[in-house]
Amino acid sequence: MPESRADFFSKLFSDSHAALRRYVRRLVRSRETADEIVQEAFLRTYERADPRQAPKTFLYTIARNLATDHRRHDRIAQTDAVGDLDNLDVVSPLESFEAWLLAEERTRLLRDAVEQLPPQCRAVFALKVFHAYSYKEIAQRLGISTKTVENHLARGMSDTRSYLRRRYREATTDHD
């Protein structure tokens, strides 16, 4: 008598659960998150996988993708936008008020420099510099080629550097 779908997935669960949980936990570094991801991976595997076509591979792929999505979401949540530069704690509370003012000015100048970039260049620059996305991730997210990402990033770095130099020169000549 052939094994039922429920029996097959029950066996897959009992054979794979502990190892999958360890694997996902290494990826996300959280027991609770790993448990949620493993549960979701088993549910999706049960709903979508064909028992005749390597469901264990499908299960692990789903779990890895969910873990990757979770890590990416955490990265984005930690630094949500270029505007978060206002919240950077560049100066320790023990430093002088003057040091705090200088750090505030540097942050404002950097934000102003980034805001001068064209929209797509600014998006590439922010995703790379502030969110630490890879070129490939940026390309996929924005629907452009990795070469275009490289070009935008090079332009963003160059334009930002030029803007900051220009502003620095203006500031030093104003005081002379």
Which domains, and CATH codes, for the chain? 5-78 (1.10.1740), 82-174 (1.10.10.10)
The overall pTM is greater than 0.75: no
pLDDT tens track for 99-118: 777 777 777 887 888 888 88
Q: Is the pLDDT of residue 25 over 90?
A: yes
pLDDT tens track for 132-160: 888 898 888 888 999 999 999 899 889 98
Burial (CB < 10 A; 0-12, 13-18, 19+), residue 150, is middle
Residue listed under structure tokens 């996300």: 28
What pLDDT, on a 0 to 100 scale, did the predictor assign at position 176? 54
What pLDDT, on a 0 to 100 scale, did the predictor assign at position 21? 93
Instruction: Name which residue leads in pLDDT, 69 or 83.
Output: 69
